[in-house]
C-alpha cells in the first residue's frame, strides 16, 4: 500500500516536470480497514419412517458467527513521500494484503492536475497552512468470499436415516480490505491533515464502517 502511494506520487512529479505542483504542501492519510467474518453452521437431521403412511423428521441447527474489524491509519507529507522515492522490487512486500497492485492513484493525480490546468478547479490557494478546503480522495475495496459445506448421509435401516436432506456442516469466510487515501493540505505541524481534509477522511471512514455493518447483517 505504501509502495503504491510512493510510486504514484513520484511518477506524477517525474512526468509533470514542473518545479511546483498543487500537492507540494499537502499530505496523504492512508486508512486501511480489514474486516473478516467467519460463520459456521451444524445442522444434523434424522428421519424416522416406520411405515409408508407415517414419517417423522427432526433436526438441530447450531451456528456461530464472528466478525473482526481492524483499522490501520498512517500519515505522510508529500515531501516525505518524495524523499522516499519510488519503491524498489526489494522494498515491495509480498504479504497477505490484496491491495499490493496498481490502485490507479496515479490516474487520479493526473486527472486532478488536468482539471486544475483547464481552470475547472482552483488548487492554487494562498491560505495559511492547514486551512485549505481542497481535498481529493481515492478508495479501493477488495472483497473475497469463500464457503464450503459437507453433508454425509447414513441409512441405518429401512426405518432410520440421517442427513437425507439439508446441509450437515457449512462454513463461510468473508474477507474485506478497504483502503482509503485522502490527500489535502497538511496542518501547521505537518503531522496530520488540515481540518477540511480530516473531516472528509472521517466522514468516509464512518461510511465504510456503516457499509460493512449493513453488508454483514443482510448476508444470508
Helix axes 105-117, 2-16, angle to 10 degrees: 30
Running DSSP on this structure, what letter comes out for residue 153?
-
Give the three-class secondary structure for 92. coil
- Please state whether beta strands 62-77 and 135-150 pair in parallel, antiparallel, or not at all (unpaired): unpaired
Angle at 31 between CA 172 and CA 87, to 5 degrees: 105
Give me the pLDDT at residue 181, please.
Answer: 92
Assign 170 to helix, strand or coil. strand
Q: Of 21, 46, 4, whose CA–CA distance to 140 is shortest? A: 4
Q: How many domains does the chain have?
A: 1
In this structure, the number of other CB atoms found within 10 A of the CB of residue 171 comes to: 15
How remote is the C-alpha of 166 from its chain's centroid?
34
Intervals of the chain under pLDDT 50: 126-129
Total-model pTM: 0.77
Beta carbons of 122 and 116 less than 8 angstroms apart: yes
Per the listing, cell 513521500 goes with: 81
Cell matching residue 210: 456503516
State pLDDT tens for residues 145-163. Answer: 889 988 888 777 777 788 7
Rg of the chain over Cα atoms, rounded to whole angstroms, equals 26
CA angle (40, 44, 45) in 5-degree steps: 145
Segments forming the whole domain that contains residue 6? 2-218
pLDDT of residue 127: 47
CA distance 177 to 100: 11
Question: What are 27-65's pLDDT values in tens digits?
Answer: 999 998 888 889 898 888 888 888 878 888 888 888 888
Amino acid at each position: 500500500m505504501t509502495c503504491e502511494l510512493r510510486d504514484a506520487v513520484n511518477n506524477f512529479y517525474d512526468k509533470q516536470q514542473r518545479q511546483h505542483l498543487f500537492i507540494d504542501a499537502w499530505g496523504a492519510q492512508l486508512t486501511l480497514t480489514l474486516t473478516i467474518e467467519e460463520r459456521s453452521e451444524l445442522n444434523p437431521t434424522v428421519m424416522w419412517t416406520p411405515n409408508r403412511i407415517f414419517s417423522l423428521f427432526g433436526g438441530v441447527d447450531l451456528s456461530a458467527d464472528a466478525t473482526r474489524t481492524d483499522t490501520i491509519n498512517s500519515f505522510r507529507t508529500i515531501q516525505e513521500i518524495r524523499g522516499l522515492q519510488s519503491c524498489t522490487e526489494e522494498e515491495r512486500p509480498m504479504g497477505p494484503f490484496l491491495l499490493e497492485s496498481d490502485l490507479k492513484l496515479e490516474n487520479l493525480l493526473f486527472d486532478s492536475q488536468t482539471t486544475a490546468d483547464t481552470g475547472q478547479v482552483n488548487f492554487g490557494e494562498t491560505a495559511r497552512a492547514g486551512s485549505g478546503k481542497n481535498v481529493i480522495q481515492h478508495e479501493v475495496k477488495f472483497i473475497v468470499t469463500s464457503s464450503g459445506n459437507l453433508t454425509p448421509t447414513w441409512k441405518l435401516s429401512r426405518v432410520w436415516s440421517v442427513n437425507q436432506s439439508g446441509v450437515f456442516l457449512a462454513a463461510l469466510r468473508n474477507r474485506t480490505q478497504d483502503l482509503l487515501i485522502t490527500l489535502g493540505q497538511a496542518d501547521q505541524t505537518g503531522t496530520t491533515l488540515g481540518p477540511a481534509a480530516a473531516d472528509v477522511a472521517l466522514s468516509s471512514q464512518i461510511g465504510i464502517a456503516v457499509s460493512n455493518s449493513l453488508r454483514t447483517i443482510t448476508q444470508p
